[in-house]
């Protein structure tokens, strides 16, 4: 039997664990988020899976690089300098390390994510 690395297929949506924003970061609403890591490398610096959230808005500060693909819903992301972008199902984007601002879930959403934390 081989110990060779195997391809990880994201073929199902897992229930996941609670991943609610910290109360001190919430700007509006009562967002309820869940995360389901489906892969992590041996160093725990790269991981990916699915994340979902109900409506709400909270402050974010990225210490990682995150590639996102929206599956459902709609979000608005605003930088501390005031730049705003909206994303909905089908959109793909990167949240770069060092980004600061707010993340707002306008319509309950789900996204695939791939995170690298140097």
Q: What is the pLDDT of residues 43-95, one digit of tens each?
A: 999 999 999 999 999 999 999 999 999 999 999 999 999 999 999 999 999 99
User: What are the φ/ψ torsions at residue 81 (nearest 5 degrees)?
Assistant: -85, -5
Distance (Å, whole) CA 78 – CA 100: 8
The CA distances from residue 92 to 2, 81, 95, 100, in Å, are 35, 22, 10, 19
Q: Report the top-level CATH class of 40-116.
A: mainly beta
> Per-domain residue ranges for the chain?
40-116
Joined tokens for residue 75: 């979000």
Q: What is the pLDDT of residues 14-53, one digit of tens each?
A: 678 999 999 999 999 999 999 999 999 999 999 999 999 9
Note whether 103 and 53 are within 8 A (CB).
no
């Amino acid at each position: 039997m081989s110990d060779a690395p195997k391809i990880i297929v994201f073929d199902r949506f897992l229930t996941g664990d609670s991943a609610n924003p910290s109360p001190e970061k919430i700007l509006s609403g009562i967002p309820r988020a869940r995360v389901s890591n489906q892969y992590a490398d041996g160093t725990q610096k790269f991981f990916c899976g699915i994340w979902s959230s109900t409506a709400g808005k909270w402050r974010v500060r990225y210490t990682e690089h995150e590639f996102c693909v929206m599956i459902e819903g709609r979000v608005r992301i605003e930088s501390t300098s005031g730049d705003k972008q909206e994303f909905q199902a089908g959109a793909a984007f990167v949240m770069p390390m060092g980004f600061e601002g707010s993340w707002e879930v306008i319509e309950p959403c789900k996204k695939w994510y791939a995170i690298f934390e140097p």
